[in-house]
Amino acid sequence: MGNIFKQIEKAMIAATFAEANERDYARQLLNKEKNAHKKVLLSTNCPLVTDKVLEHSINLSKRLGASLEIYQLLSTEFIKSSNELSIKAGLEKLKELQTGLNTSSISYQYTVTDTTLMEELTKIAKSRRDILAVVIPTCETNPPLRKRSRQTLSRFFKCPVILFDS
């Protein structure tokens, strides 16, 4: 019974803010816990994710009340063409980043694979229903997706797919 009163109180507070032309804040109050288990997916096959893309993705996840999941694909071709010592050092840095981010509300995973970003995202979309938005940065190794590909991904995920020029 106490939970119902808390919900009514929250609705009344949100209505007060909405009447004061603070509609965004009112919406946040009502949706705060609704998306707690949902995620914003930042997926890329770029070797380096820029600060601008990270900042945008973090802000989007905060606005949606969701956590951020970063999924980076590293191509086996890129690994083979790089210096072995720099790859080992790079993988160590990725493991440190993964450990550091997992303690916050940001999760980070990387995979070394031969599949394309579109193929990986299609696989993810088939098995996941907890994604609110997908952010895909473009870089030299990841040319911009065609409009048709973006619409296909959007239908698979049933959420917005944001292409970000970094």
pLDDT of res. 116: 85
pLDDT at residue 100 greater than cutoff 70: no
Residue 32 backbone zone (phi > 0: left; psi -120 to 50: alpha; other: beta): alpha
Residues in the chain, overall count:
166
The predicted model scores a pTM of 0.69
- Between 23 and 136, the higher pLDDT residue: 136
φ/ψ of 150, rounded to 5, equals: -65, -40
Instruction: Render pLDDT for 10-61 as a digit per residue (tens, 0 to 9).
Output: 777 777 777 777 777 677 666 655 555 789 999 988 877 888 888 888 888 8
Q: Which of 80-94, 123-137, 140-154 has the highest mean pLDDT?
A: 123-137
pLDDT of res. 101: 65
Region 109-137: mean pLDDT is 87
C-alpha pair distances (Å), 43 with each of 15, 18, 22, 120:
37, 35, 33, 9
Instruction: Render pLDDT for 61-94 as a digit per residue (tens, 0 to 9).
Output: 888 778 899 898 888 887 777 777 666 777 777 6
How many other CB atoms sit within 10 Å of the CB of residue 5? 9
pLDDT at residue 123 greater than cutoff 70: yes
Distance CA 94, CA 96 (A): 5
Contact 46, 142 (CB under 8 A): yes
Amino acid occupying residue 7: Q
Picking from 85, 80, 84, 73, the residue whose alpha carbon sits closest to that of residue 47 is 73
pLDDT of res. 35: 56
